[in-house]
Amino acid sequence: MIDILGYYNYWGFVILLSIGLYGALACENYFKKMVGLSIFQTAIFLLFISIADVGDFATLGLKSGTAPIFWEELHDYRYVNPVPHVLVLTGIVVAAATLALGLALIIRIYRDYGTLNEEELRWKL
Amino acid sequence: MEAVIEHFPVLAVAISLLSSFTILVTSIYTKRAGYPISLAVTFIQLVMAVLILIGVLTDGTINYWLGGWRPPWGIEYRVDVLGAYVLVIVALFSFFSTVYAKRVVEEEIESSKHPYFYTLWMLLVSGMVGVAVTGDLFNLFVFLEISSLATYALIAMAGRKALIASFNYLVLGAVGISFYLLGTAFLYAATGTLNMYDARVLVSLLYSSKIVQLSFVFYFIGLAMKMALFPFHIWQPNAYEYSPSAVTVIISTALAKINAYALFRIIYSVYTIKFFQNYGIILDATAFVASVGIIAGSLFAIMEKSLKKMLAYSSVANVGYIVLALTLGKWGVYAAASHLLNHSLMKAALFMVAGGFIYRLGARNIDDLEGLGRAMPLSSAAFAMAAVSMIGIPPSAGFVTKLFILLASLDTGRFVFIAVMIASSLLSLVYFWRVIEILYMKGHRERMDEIPASMLYPALLMGILSISAGILWFFNVDMLQQIALALEVK
Amino acid sequence: MSVVVTTVVRFILPFMQLYGFYVLTGTEGPGGGFQGGVILASSFILYAITFGEGVDGRWVKAFKSLGLWIYAGVGVLAVFYSLFNAEFLNYSATFLSIMVPHTVARGVIIADVIEVGIGMAVCASFVSMFFDVVARGEEK
What is A2-53+82-120's CATH topology? Helix Hairpins (1.10.287)
Residue C96 confidence (pLDDT): 61
CB contact under 8 A, B153 and A84: no
Q: Cβ of A56: how many Cβ atoms within 10 Å?
A: 11
- Domain extent listing, chain A: 2-53+82-120
User: What CA–CA distances, in Å, run from B391 to A24, B210, B332, B347?
Assistant: 38, 42, 19, 12
Q: Which residue of A has its CA nearest to B152?
A: A101
User: What is the spatial distance between Cα B203 and Cα B272, in angstroms, rounded to a whole number?
Assistant: 9
Residue type, A39: I
**Neighboring chains of B (3 or more beta-carbon pairs < 8 A):** A, C
Reported as a single tens digit per residue, the pLDDT across B10-51 is: 999 999 999 998 998 888 888 888 899 999 999 999 999 999
CB contact under 8 A, B67 and C88: yes
Nearest chain C Cα distance for residue A101, angstroms? 9
CB contact under 8 A, A125 and B161: yes
Residue B316 confidence (pLDDT): 92
Residues of chain A found within 8 Å of residue B185, distances taken between Cβ atoms: 44, 47-48, 51, 84
Comparing A71-85, B169-183, B429-443, the range with the smallest average pLDDT is A71-85
CB contact under 8 A, B18 and C90: no
Reported as a single tens digit per residue, the pLDDT across A18-38 is: 999 999 989 899 999 999 999
Comparing B115-129, B225-239, C47-61, the range with the smallest average pLDDT is C47-61
Give residue A101's region: left, alpha or beta (phi > 0; psi -120 to 50). Answer: alpha
Residue B2 confidence (pLDDT): 64
Reported as a single tens digit per residue, the pLDDT across B282-313 is: 888 889 999 999 999 999 999 988 999 999 99
Nearest chain A Cα distance for residue C9, angstroms? 26
Nearest chain C Cα distance for residue A104, angstroms? 7
User: What is the spatial distance between Cα C56 and Cα C53, in angstroms, rounded to a whole number?
Assistant: 10
Residue B315 confidence (pLDDT): 92
Residue C25 confidence (pLDDT): 79
User: What is the spatial distance between Cα B298 and Cα A100, in angstroms, rounded to a whole number?
Assistant: 36
Residues of chain B found within 8 Å of residue C66, distances taken between Cβ atoms: 25
Flag whether residue A83 sits within 8 Å of chain C, measured between CB atoms: no
Mean pLDDT value across residues C47-54: 82
Residue A63 confidence (pLDDT): 53
Mean pLDDT value across residues C95-115: 72
Long-range interactions of B18-21: CB distance < 8 A, separation 24+: B18/C68, B18/C69, B18/C72, B18/C73, B18/C76, B19/B122, B20/B118, B20/B119, B20/B120, B20/B121, B20/B122, B20/B123, B20/B126, B21/B119, B21/C64, B21/C65, B21/C68, B21/C69
Q: Residue by residue, what is the 3-state secondary structure of B246-273? A: HHHHHHHHHHHHHHHHHHHHHHHHHHHH
Flag whether residue A93 sits within 8 Å of chain C, measured between CB atoms: yes
Q: Under a CB-based contact definition with an 8 Å cutoff, are residues B2 and B97 in contact?
A: no
Q: Under a CB-based contact definition with an 8 Å cutoff, are residues C71 and C82 in contact?
A: no
Percent of chain B predicted with pLDDT > 90: 51
User: Hey, which residues 54-73 in chain B have their CB within 8 Å of chain A?
Assistant: 73
CB contact under 8 A, B166 and A51: no
Residue type, C99: M
Residues of chain A found within 8 Å of residue C136, distances taken between Cβ atoms: 104, 107-108, 111
Mean pLDDT value across residues C128-134: 82
User: What CA–CA distances, in Å, run from B453 to A88, A121, B103, B357?
Assistant: 48, 38, 9, 13
Nearest chain B Cα distance for residue A2, angstroms? 22
Percent of chain A predicted with pLDDT > 90: 38
Residues of chain B found within 8 Å of residue C58, distances taken between Cβ atoms: 28
User: What is the spatial distance between Cα B247 and Cα B104, in angstroms, rounded to a whole number?
Assistant: 10
Residue B251 confidence (pLDDT): 92
- For chain C, the C-alpha Rg in angstroms (whole number) is 18
Residue A61 confidence (pLDDT): 52
Q: Under a CB-based contact definition with an 8 Å cutoff, are residues B73 and B105 in contact?
A: no
User: Between the CA atoms of B115, B116, B118 and B123, what dihedral angle is there, to the nearest 10 degrees?
Assistant: 140
Residues of chain B found within 8 Å of residue C86, distances taken between Cβ atoms: 68
- Domain extent listing, chain B: 279-490
User: Hey, which residues 118-157 in chain B have their CB within 8 Å of chain A?
Assistant: 138, 141-142, 145, 149, 152-153, 156
Residue A58 confidence (pLDDT): 53
User: What is the spatial distance between Cα B261 and Cα B231, in angstroms, rounded to a whole number?
Assistant: 19
Q: Under a CB-based contact definition with an 8 Å cutoff, are residues A97 and B140 in contact?
A: no
Reported as a single tens digit per residue, the pLDDT across B406-439 is: 999 998 888 888 999 899 999 999 999 989 988 8
Nearest chain B Cα distance for residue A77, angstroms? 21
Mean pLDDT value across residues A104-125: 86
Residues of chain A found within 8 Å of residue B178, distances taken between Cβ atoms: 37, 40-41, 44
- Higher-pLDDT residue of A108 and C132 is A108
Given a cut of 60, whether residue A60 has pLDDT beyond it is no
Average pLDDT, chain C: 81
Of B21, B24, B65, the CB nearest to C87: B65
Residue B272 confidence (pLDDT): 84
Mean pLDDT value across residues B455-478: 88
Residues of chain B found within 8 Å of residue A30, distances taken between Cβ atoms: 167
Mean pLDDT value across residues B129-158: 93
Residue type, B324: L
User: Residue B385: CB partners within 8 Å, gap ≥ 6?
Assistant: B349, B463, B464, B466, B467
CB contact under 8 A, C58 and B3: no
CB contact under 8 A, A108 and C132: no
Residue B247 confidence (pLDDT): 93
Mean pLDDT value across residues A37-60: 81
Residue type, B374: R
CB contact under 8 A, A104 and C132: yes
Of A33, A44, A97, the CB nearest to B181: A44
Burial of B111 (0-12, 13-18, 19+ CB in 10 A): exposed
Q: Under a CB-based contact definition with an 8 Å cutoff, are residues B203 and B216 in contact?
A: no
User: What is the spatial distance between Cα C61 and Cα B59, in angstroms, rounded to a whole number?
Assistant: 43
Nearest chain C Cα distance for residue A107, angstroms? 8
CB contact under 8 A, A37 and B174: yes
Give B351-411 as a DSSP string.
Answer: HHHHHHHHHHH---BGGGGTTHHHHSHHHHHHHHHHHHHHHT-TTSHHHHHHHHHHHHHHH
Q: Which residue of B has its CA nearest to A115?
A: B164
Backbone angles phi, psi at B380, to 5 degrees: -65, -35
Q: How confident is the model at residue C140 (pLDDT cuts 50, 70, 90)?
A: very low
Average pLDDT, chain B: 89
Burial of C96 (0-12, 13-18, 19+ CB in 10 A): middle
Residue C135 confidence (pLDDT): 67
Which residue from B287, B296, B354 is spatially nearest to B323, judged by alpha carbons?
A: B287
Reported as a single tens digit per residue, the pLDDT across B107-140 is: 888 888 899 999 999 999 999 999 999 989 999 9
CB contact under 8 A, C84 and B66: no
Q: What is the DSSP secondary structure assignment for residue B62, as one 8-state letter? A: E
Q: Which residue of C has its CA nearest to A85?
A: C31
Q: How confident is the model at residue A62 (pLDDT cuts 50, 70, 90)?
A: low
Of B4, B25, B67, the CB nearest to C65: B25
Residues of chain B found within 8 Å of residue A89, distances taken between Cβ atoms: none
Mean pLDDT value across residues B88-102: 93
Nearest chain C Cα distance for residue A19, angstroms? 28
User: What is the spatial distance between Cα B391 and Cα B375, in angstroms, rounded to a whole number?
Assistant: 24
Reported as a single tens digit per residue, the pLDDT across C64-102 is: 889 989 888 888 888 887 777 777 777 776 666 666 667
Q: Under a CB-based contact definition with an 8 Å cutoff, are residues B9 and B64 in contact?
A: yes
- Higher-pLDDT residue of B378 and C78 is B378
Reported as a single tens digit per residue, the pLDDT across A34-45 is: 999 999 999 999
Residues of chain B found within 8 Å of residue C91, distances taken between Cβ atoms: 67
Average pLDDT, chain A: 81
pTM of the model: 0.92
Given a cut of 90, whether residue B59 has pLDDT beyond it is no
E strand or H helix at B65: strand B62-65
Which residue from B302, B250, B284, B202 is spatially nearest to B89, judged by alpha carbons?
A: B250
Given a cut of 70, whether residue B335 has pLDDT beyond it is yes
Interface test with chain B among C56, C63, C83, C84, by most B beta carbons within 10 Å: C84
**Could you give the ipTM of this predicted complex?**
0.89
